[in-house]
């Protein structure tokens, strides 16, 4: 079991961030009799999923969709299916961006080559 401060420290987050994830419905910690949040293995695992999702560029809404699915299907099948679906979409987006960046790179290479030749011509004439 973790307190909010311990879990925040474990994941290098602020306690405010954990409260925000709770507000979004991504985490549902238990409460002590005094109202303090207590995080268990389930919340720890959910936070790992949240952090991994953020690392790979998923929106909080996409991450929430994946996290909440485990509540609906304890087998994890739906969660994995949705993760695969979302990851496939991300991969498509990455491929499009890579193509665009490769085209931009080629344009810069051409521009630099062209400008270098122009500069050389100007220097030779001087």
Q: Report the alpha-carbon distance of residue 41 to residue 91 in Å, rounded.
A: 30
Count of alpha carbons within 13 angstroms of residue 91, beta-carbon side: 6
- Buried/exposed code over 19-29 (b: 16+ C-beta within 10 A; e: otherwise): eebbeeebbeb
Please spell the DSSP secondary structure of 27-79, one letter per residue: ---EE-TT--EEB-HHHHHHHHHHHHHHHTT--HHHHHHHHHHHHH-TTSHHH
Maximal C-alpha separation, the chain: 86
CA–CA dist 27, 47 (Å, integer): 8
Measured CA distances, 42 to 10, 16, 116, 123 (Å): 15, 20, 60, 69
All domains in the chain, ordered by first residue = 4-94 (1.10.1660.10)
| pLDDT, tens digit, 9 for 90 and up, residues 77-125 | 988 898 899 999 999 999 999 999 999 999 999 999 999 999 999 999 8
Does the pLDDT at position 126 exceed 90? Answer: no
- 26-46 residue pLDDT tens: 999 999 999 999 999 999 999
Average pLDDT over residues 67-72: 83
**pLDDT tens per residue across span 71-83:** 788 888 988 898 8
Mean pLDDT over each residue of the chain, to the nearest integer: 93
């Amino acid at each position: 079991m973790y307190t909010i401060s311990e879990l925040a420290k474990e994941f290098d987050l602020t306690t405010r961030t954990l409260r925000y994830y709770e507000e979004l419905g991504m985490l549902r910690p238990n409460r002590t009799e005094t109202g303090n949040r207590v995080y268990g293995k389930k919340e720890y695992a959910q936070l790992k999923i949240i952090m991994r999702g953020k690392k790979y560029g998923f929106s909080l809404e996409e991450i929430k969709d994946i996290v909440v699915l485990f509540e609906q299907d304890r087998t994890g099948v739906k969660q994995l299916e949705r993760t695969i679906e979302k990851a496939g979409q991300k991969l498509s987006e990455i491929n499009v961006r890579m193509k665009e960046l490769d085209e931009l790179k080629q344009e810069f290479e051409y521009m630099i080559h062209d400008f270098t030749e122009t500069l050389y011509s100007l220097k030779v004439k001087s």
